[in-house]
Structures are given as structure tokens and as C-alpha cells.
Amino acid sequence: MPKPRPLYSRRGRVEILHGSGGRAMAQLVAELFKVAFDNAWLEQGNDAAVLPQVSGRLVMSCDSHVVSPLFFEGGDIGCLSVHGTINDVSMMGAQPLYLTASFILEEGFLFADLERIVASMASAARDAGVSIVAGDTKVVEKGKGDGVFITTTGIGVLREGIVLSGDLAQPGDRILLSGTIGDHGMAVLSRRENLEFDAPIFSDTAPLHGLVANILDCGARVRVLRDPTRGGLATTLNEIAQQSGVGMLLDESAIPVKKPVEAACEFLGLDPLYVANEGKLVAVCAPEDAVHLLEVMRAHPLAREAAAIGEVTEDSRRFVQMATRLGGRRIVDWLAGEPLPRIC
Amino acid sequence: MPKPRPLYSRRGRVEILHGSGGRAMAQLVAELFKVAFDNAWLEQGNDAAVLPQVSGRLVMSCDSHVVSPLFFEGGDIGCLSVHGTINDVSMMGAQPLYLTASFILEEGFLFADLERIVASMASAARDAGVSIVAGDTKVVEKGKGDGVFITTTGIGVLREGIVLSGDLAQPGDRILLSGTIGDHGMAVLSRRENLEFDAPIFSDTAPLHGLVANILDCGARVRVLRDPTRGGLATTLNEIAQQSGVGMLLDESAIPVKKPVEAACEFLGLDPLYVANEGKLVAVCAPEDAVHLLEVMRAHPLAREAAAIGEVTEDSRRFVQMATRLGGRRIVDWLAGEPLPRIC
């Protein structure tokens, strides 16, 4: 016997009244979100979640997710929206604890898809040990949205003594990268454009708080952690160079790129340095600690291909330069032109 | 001499590349958001804001705002998105401290409108003493959004000893309302439908944390505070009745409605009980404290027309009933049918 549709979804699709604040929305919250996210704070059923007291400085970050398509190899907008915010909180060295999730649904969106996305979020949050403690649902008319947009905000708590910031890189510091670049962007793009490559490309979307904890626990003097998402590795490194008032010199041959990603980038005329990642981080550390830190990173399942990719230089122009495979040097600029829209 | 357009906006409209993570986005963040919201946390320029340690339990809430039109009498999506989240945090009795703001922009949206909205947010946040400490900007293609959607998430801190929750209403408790109902919804609707009434209708959008502080400081035994937004007063009271397992009996003649709002509702066949408010609250308190609490509320500029509108009853069916002006009784049900979409 087929399972009866839940009360909120008797017609199978999102309707305007699911965002009205009335009975249909209450059913959607009670039968979908509360069941999937399953925690005491959502059960409170109030306008806001009352959380325990935390000790330590708070870290807070938010991200809207508008990725298109919603489902791709290796992930979907649901787990992506959880990982993205967990990672931003983690990059300051904090332990992520609580998330909020706000949904902007387009009228006519399939509840079957929403259910799949919500299940993916719930599972990503559970795996990372964070709770989705509050939420919101709005519905816009057909043609005024695009299926679903998800905004997550996360808070975490910072242990005593941890100071990470994009303005702390110093000349001589080493630049480590936790793995291959371009996987997420090319996974989304190849699904969007219906490109078939010999080997499928999987998004690297993953929560990095565990890797960050290992990095902080190992005693290395780490100055900066940052995840190279939109704009790719090139933009992230330029941001750090800008903030710290330094230059960088990268070694092209040291930057890991998966073969299928490299091939797809070449085919499309894209540079993997500018393609988004969702499960990678850059660590800038004191030169004496680089070897040890690299070992620690490689021992973590999400950073087996970690590599030392360059060093911080003194440069008042704040240029990120790269020693190319052919023996030359080139400037690696900020992403400037039109790139890959709606990649996260 | 006209002021030159800022760097991010040389063409005056949002382009896809403003959401790309590259240079155009960095300019938008630096020249618009950081300047308007102006605080040390945004200045950090990292993936997440590192905030001070707070003492007390945390309260966290989020809301997406998709109101249409973006500008209406008495407010706009900018101040609304600040007030909405401040109020949700305040309803738990917490002092709101920090907000995040995430923007989903439609390609082609006028920067002049975005600047106006951001200024309105900044001013609302400043007036309420909260800081917008982190943000995000995404851009979707023309026809995949609707100008701008804004999601805000707020955290606040709860003083020792304050326990408010929708499940604490007890038979005999009094129900107080801080002022007239329906103002916000009718202000938005009349602008959307280009309706001209004799007197203009202004949204009541306002931050309620100051009123809440006075309510909590006055010694009255308050069980529940809630702001009757989407779904209106009727839906909010039904939520409380449901959570507390009680009934309610309202006095229709005691519920304040402004004349122009009443006239507009009558003209459109709407019941003000179901129309959204953005600057009102319901307080449920012990019967002995109702007179004093009402005085305290009326002394605050945002609650001069506060009224005692009914009482909590014992009712296992959890019905909200109303003694009508004509001497009868009727059930005030949850909002069920299609209401006023995109009112917040």
C-alpha cells in the first residue's frame, strides 16, 4: 500500500498558503521540518530557540544557497547549505554548534524534492554534531524564485587562545591546501550543462570542523584558515594577501587537481584556480611547522591529498604570483570577469 | 557635480558577477555593506565574525523576507528584516545583540533601491542597538528571483530567571495586546494593489525589545510574549492555545483596529484578526497583574493603545472563541485559506 501523502502535501506541490503563517504552514513545520531536524529547540515551538549558555567567544556566519541545479553528483543544496555554514564557522577555529535554516520556496516546487533536500540537511547536520534549532519558510509565486533557496546561519564557540584571521599571514609562512581544487564547481557545472565526461566529477562538499580541530590540536602555529569557495583558490589567496598586506608565491605543479576536473576545465576554457570548492581549506602556518602540519592534515580522511603549495612573500603590491610548470611566473589575479554563477 | 557611482555599480544595476565571489563582489561588500553597517566585526573581513563572550543563555531566530512591494508606507523590506528578527528574539525575553543579513539579489535590480534598503537596515539596527556582524550576497538570473530577498538571523542573551514560552498560558490568565491590529498587512496590500483610501495606512513595523524590557522589569508574572505577524492575531492566539492546551475567550469590542484599516479590510472582505502586524505583541499574564502590566505597556510609545482583550479558559478542545459586538460567540479559527501572500 503506498504511504499516504502527509497533510501538508496533499497536492504534492508547494502552494502559496504553505508560507501564509496559517494551518498549512504549521503542518509543514510539524510534519516535515520538526520530524527531520528532530531536536528539543524546534520542539519548543516558539518564535526563537532558547539555547544553553556557552562559554567562550561566539563565532557567527551566514550563507544563502542558490545553487542550480539543486541536485548534483556528490551532493545537493541541502547538505551544501549545512556544510557551507559549518565551514565558515570552523575557519575561525570555532566548534560549530547551532544552525538556523530559512527556506524560500517557489510555488509549484515538488514536495518530493523538498523532502529529499531536508533529509540531506538533517543527515549532514547530524553527522557534524550540529542542531538546526530554528527556521522559517516563505513561498513566492511561480516565476519569482527558482525551486528553493536556503539560507543557513551558524554559531559556534571558540576555545581560549585561538586567534585565526585573514590579516595574520607573514612573509615566510607556508601555504597548505587540504586537497584537490575545482571538484565542486565542475560537478555542478557538468550537471547543469548536461556534460558527460569519461569519469564523473563529484562535488567535494563536506564539513571541515573535524579537520580544523586536528589542525588546531597539533601545536602548529597556524595564522589563517579559509575555505576557497566562490571565486576559487585564486580569490581566497588574494583576499588573504590583501588583508595581511603580503604577497604570495605559488608552485603550480604542487596544486592538486583531479584528472577529470582538469580535463573538464580545459574543455570549457576554465582555470581550476577560480572554480569553487566546498570541502577544502587553505592553512597558512609558520614555516617551521609546515611539515608537521601537512602530516596531520594528510592523516585526516578529508585531506589525504593535502599539499604545500607555496609561501607568503613580502610584497607591498600584494600580488599572488605563481611559478608555472613551464618555468615562468605569472600573476594570479582576483576573479574578475563573469565566472560560474549559482555554484553554491 | 553629480556624485560618481561607486565602483560596484558603474552600470547602476546588479549583475551576475556581483555574486561571483570575485572583485565586483568584494567592492560591493566594501563600499556598500561595510560602510552602511559599520562595525568592527564586518571590518574583520573573515569568513565568520568573532564576537565577545556573552553570559546567559543564547536565543536564536531567523526570518526570510520576501515582502512585495519592497517599499510601502511606513517602511520597506530593509527595516522590516531587522525588526522581524529582533522581535522574534525579544519575544523569548532576550536582549537582541547581533544579526546576520543574507541577500539574494535578482540580476538587473537597481543599486539605487538596494542602497536605500541597506540604509534602512543600518538605521533600524543602529536604533535598536544591534550590530549586523556577518552577511552574504548571492545573485540569481533575471526571472529567478524578485528584486531582493533578505534573510536575517539574530542572537540575543537571556537574563537569569526569565522563562517565557507558548506552552505556559493557564486558565484565568489575561491576554493583553499592545495596540491596533492589521496595520502592516493593509499598508503592504494597499500599496501592492494601488488602492487609495481616504487616509493612508502605515505599517507598524518597529523593534519591540524596549517594550519587552519594560514588561519584564515591572514584576508582572508574564507567561507568554508573541508577536502576531503572518496569520495575524487569530493565528498567534491559536498557536498559544494549542501549545498550552487551553482555550481563550476574546472580547471583540476590546480589540483595537484603526478606522482606515477597518474600512480597507471591509472593502476587501478581509478580517483584521488574520492580517499581519510587525510592531505588536500579545502578552499573557497572571490575572492579578493585568492592570499593572497594562499601565506599564501604555507608558511605552509603541503600546499607547494597549488593551486587555480577553482571557485564557479551560478548554480541552483548545478553541479560541470571541464574544462578538452583537452579543453572540464565534470560533476564531487558524488562518486556513489563501491569505495575503508575501506580506513580510
Chain B residues lying within 8 Å of A228, measured CB to CB: none
A138 contacts B60? CB cut-off 8 A = no
What is the least distance, in Å, from the CA of A273 to any CA of chain B? 12
Average pLDDT rounded to a whole number, residues A236-256: 97
Three-state secondary structure of chain A: CCCCCCHHHCCCECCHHHHCCCHHHHHHHHHHHHHHHCCHHHHHCCCCEECCCCCCEEEEEEEEECCCCCEECCEEHHHHHHHHHHHHHHCCCEEEEEEEEEEEEECCCEHHHHHHHHHHHHHHHHHHCCEEEEEEEEEECCCCCCCEEEEEEEEEEECCCCCCCCCCCCCCCEEEECCCCCHHHHHHHHHHCCCCCCCCCCCCCCCCHHHHHHHHHCCCCEEEEECCCCCHHHHHHHHHHHHHCCEEEEEHHHCCCCHHHHHHHHHHCCCHHHCCCCCCCEEEECHHHHHHHHHHHHCCHHHCCCEEEEEEECCCCCCEEEECCCCCEEECCCCCCCCCCCCC
CA A296 remoteness from chain centre:
22
Spell out, as residue ranges, where chain B has pLDDT lower than 70: 1-2, 338-339
Give contacts of B16 with chain A, Cβ < 8 Å: 338, 341
Question: Which residues in chain A have Cβ-Cβ distances shorter than 8 Å to B141?
Answer: 341-342
Q: Are B135 and B102 in contact (CB under 8 A)?
A: yes
CATH topology of domain A174-331: Phosphoribosyl-aminoimidazole Synthetase; Chain A, domain 2 (3.90.650)
Chain B residues with beta carbon closer than 8 angstroms to that of A37: none
Taking CA atoms, A104 is separated from A19, A138, B16, B115, B342, in Å, by: 9, 5, 20, 23, 11
Given this model, what pLDDT does residue A1 score? 60
Taking the CA of residue A81 and the nearest CA in chain B, the distance in Å comes to 13
Answer whether residue A338 shows pLDDT above 70.
Answer: no
Asked if the Cβ–Cβ distance from B62 to A151 is below 8 Å, we say yes
Domain residues of chain A, as ranges?
Answer: 7-158, 174-331
Determine the Cα angle at A239 with ends A303 and A63, to 5°.
70
At A189 the pLDDT is 93
Q: Shortest Cα distance from A28 to chain B (angstroms)?
A: 13
pLDDT of residue A2: 66
Query: What is the β-pairing status of strands A57-65 and B49-53?
Result: antiparallel
Q: Find the CB nearest A47 among B226, B335, B339.
A: B226
Mutate to test the interface with A, among B136, B320, B343 (most CBs of A within 10 A): B136
State the best of A54, A98, A153 to mutate against chain B, taking most chain B CBs within 10 Å: A153
Residue scoring higher pLDDT (A220 or A336): A220
Q: How many angstroms separate the CA atoms of B67 and B74, rounded? A: 14
Largest CA distance in chain A: 71
Task: Give CA separation, A229 vs A87, B22, B55, B131, B242, in Å.
Answer: 10, 11, 34, 26, 44
Nearest CA in chain B to A25: B336
C-alpha cell at A260: 577529470
The size of chain A, in residues, is 344
Helices A290-298 + A209-217 axis angle, to 10: 140
Closest CB to A158 among B50, B57, B154? B50
B39 and B133 Cβ atoms separated by less than 8 Å: yes
| % of chain A residues with pLDDT over 70 | 99
CB of A176 within 8 A of CB of A309? Answer: yes
Predicted local distance difference test score (pLDDT) of residue B9 = 87
Question: Best interface-test mutation with A: which of B62, B81, B139, B235 has the largest number of A CBs within 10 A?
Answer: B62
User: Which whole number is the average pLDDT over A47-51?
Assistant: 94
Cα separation, B218 vs A256, in Å, equals: 64
Instruction: Write the pLDDT tens digit of every residue in A154-207.
Output: 999 998 899 999 999 999 999 999 999 999 999 999 999 888 877 889 999 999
Q: Which residues from A are below 8 Å from B167, CB to CB? A: 45
Of B98, B156, B226, the CB nearest to A60: B98
Summarised one tens digit per residue, pLDDT across range A89-112 is: 999 999 999 999 999 999 999 999
How does the average pLDDT of chain A come out, rounded? 95
Task: Give the model's pLDDT for residue A281.
Answer: 98
Answer whether the bond into residue A200 is a cis peptide, omega within 30°.
no
Cα angle value A83/A164/B157 (rounded, 5°): 70
Contact residues, chain A, for B59 at CB < 8 Å: 48-51
pLDDT tens-place string over residues B125-181: 999 999 999 999 999 999 999 999 999 999 999 988 999 999 999 999 999 999 999
In tens, the pLDDT along A282-327 reads 999 999 999 999 999 999 999 999 999 999 999 999 999 999 999 9
pLDDT of residue A334 exceeding 90, the answer is no
Nearest CA in chain A to B56: A53
What class has domain A7-158?
alpha beta
Q: Which residue's entry shows cell 556573552?
A: B54
A-B Cβ pairs (cutoff 8 Å, strict): 287
CA distance A220 to chain B (A): 21
Q: What is the pLDDT of residue B198?
A: 77
- Rounded Cα distance between B224 and B334, Å, is 19
